[in-house]
A and B are shown apart, each in its own frame.
Chain A
Amino acid sequence: MERPLTENIRPGQFPPGIVDYERAGGYRALRKVLADADPGGLIKTVTDSHLRGRGGAGFPTGRKWSFVPRGEQAVHPVYLIINADEMEPGTFKDRLLLEGNPHQLIEGIIIAGYAIEADTAFIFLRREYTLAEHRCARAIAEACERGYLGRDILGSGFSLDVYLHSSAGRYICGEETALLNALEGRRAIPRAKPPFPPVTGLWGKPTIVNNVETICNVPQIAEHGADRFRALSNSVDGGTKLYGVSGRVKKPGLWELPMGASIREILEEHAGGMKDGWALRAIMPGGASTEFLPADRLDVKMDFDSVEAAGSRLGTGTMIVLDDRTCPVGMILNLMRFFARESCGWCTPCREGLPWLVRTLEAIENGEGQAADMEILHRHTGLLGPGHTFCALAPGAVEPLQSGLALFEEDFLRHIRQKSCPWK
């Protein structure tokens, strides 16, 4: 099975330095792109590859790039920002790419930068990824020294600077417009959309924000073409995907598999199934803001459309497992505490609604819940849903609540009836 994203990653060892990366074929894609000198053609190739963003929303990458004004309308500087703020609970995939092969990311940045005619790129890295910070900084320095970055890259006339910005915490910084405010040295509060960042982004200039895994796919697409990328996949979306599992499974971890691998294959073959003595109750397919799927949906394929058809979202593709010895009400309470704490506080439904949910769930979990509390919980899934808040944090927060209320209704009611948590 082909693993283009991770074939040069040796977990637990040093990442390839520039010499090793080149020896393994690295920066060949960049040379090809610069020789072709056709940014528009490159965007078309990425569009044809069916690469969809790996940051959670799955927006088609080539299409996003095509929104940057070009030709007569072009405004400079154009910015490219790599979203390496990975903080969605249950998600640990970008860490592997950042620590394991930073040159792959940098080559992707230069090629993506060439396609959108960017002048400056930032890697927006969460503060806690200290090893990634160290390794990316070193890789950037190596790439500069070799003439892959800076002025007139390899004599092509194209120039690009890459800077590493290590952040200072807060989950909301991963939301792309909050991220822009963070990079401008402001409170990381999301911005109103439209205008969208490809037209009006950092300092009001055209800006593309892409996830780490998205950009790491770019070199192979540029080198081998769209058909080859689509052929890697088991679904209509192109390429491979980093899938992960955490929770009470035998072998928690990450695997690069064809896009569209089934939940069963990931959970049973790769993660080794549940630990002895623990049974599977439900999974969250792609991080803390995705709906629970019940244990009988293991045949769902993990691609954007299939997971959506099953009633959830692919999200980041890193699943969280709920076992039978863990209280689902307690788990949902933990999720709501996270979202309440990480809310930026800008809009009322999210700032006030999430703490209300936390207090209600705490009451139920502590055996002080009342039948009417169920109605409060249900009502909030609507009040905090899409269209009522300034950004997608609150709608994402109520996804596991809404699905959990349906799936675990009897567990909620038992807490209320017996005035205690059955798991304690």
Chain B
Amino acid sequence: MLTREELAEMDVELAHYEQKRGGCIEALKVLQRRRGWISDQSLAELADFLEMSVDDLDSVATFYNLIFRKPVGRHVILVCDSVSCWATGCEQILDYLAETLGITLGQTTADRRFTLLPNACLGACDHAPALMIDADLHGDLRRQKIDEILARYE
């Protein structure tokens, strides 16, 4: 069941739209923030609240790459693989991350600490190569910097 806190947070967002479904992406994000990811159970509860069919809501949820329909780790690493980062060595950064964490793109570490995902240009091309961990941007990446950055995330 949606909690009172979840409903309160969603109501603020839903008030901005002419139709209830307008806020469905915001609502998915509220749930994801609180529950980590969107399970089938969460999806059904939300669809009911928004007066949408489950399939309709799922078609939206699966379209957007930052809505997670599978469990993710405590921290999500988004590695930019677009052109300026590619030209300045994002592949080496990705290789190093994969090696250090023992996972490839799309996977989560066994201790559920990190999920590793590719991402479109992060708008930090003047600091390429760049990645984000949760809400934090990290640019001008070098292999040597990565261990130190990862250590900040428990």
Contacts and interface: CB of A to CB of B under 8 A. Distances in A.
Contacts of A412: none
Contacts of B71: none
Given A183-B22, A342-B120, A90 B125 contact: yes
Contact of B86 (A163, A185, A248, A331): A331
A94 B59 CA distance: 30
B82 interface: yes
A168 interface: yes
A130 B76 CA distance: 14
A380 interface: no
B120 A338 contact: yes
Interface in A316-368: 318, 320-323, 326, 330-331, 334-335, 337-338, 341-342
Nearest to B32: A168
A244 B126 contact: yes
A105 to B, nearest CB: 16
B77 interface: no
Contacts of A130: 135-137
A184 B52 CA distance: 13
Interface in A84-106: 86-92, 94-95
Interface residues of B, number: 41
B120 A182 contact: no
Contacts of B66: 127-128, 168-169
Contact of B84 (A169, A183, A246): A246
Contacts of A335: 83
A254 interface: yes
B10 interface: no
Contacts of A86: 123
B150 to A, nearest CB: 19
A91 B59 CA distance: 29
Contact of A91 (B16, B60, B125, B128): B125
Interface in B32-76: 59-60, 63-67
A337 B63 CA distance: 18
B129 to A, nearest CB: 11
A331 B121 contact: no
**Nearest 4 pairs of A and B residues by beta carbon:** A168-B64, A89-B82, A246-B125, A169-B66
Interface of A: 86-92, 94-95, 120, 122, 126-131, 161, 163, 165-171, 182-188, 202-203, 244-248, 252-254, 284, 288, 318, 320-323, 326, 330-331, 334-335, 337-338, 341-342
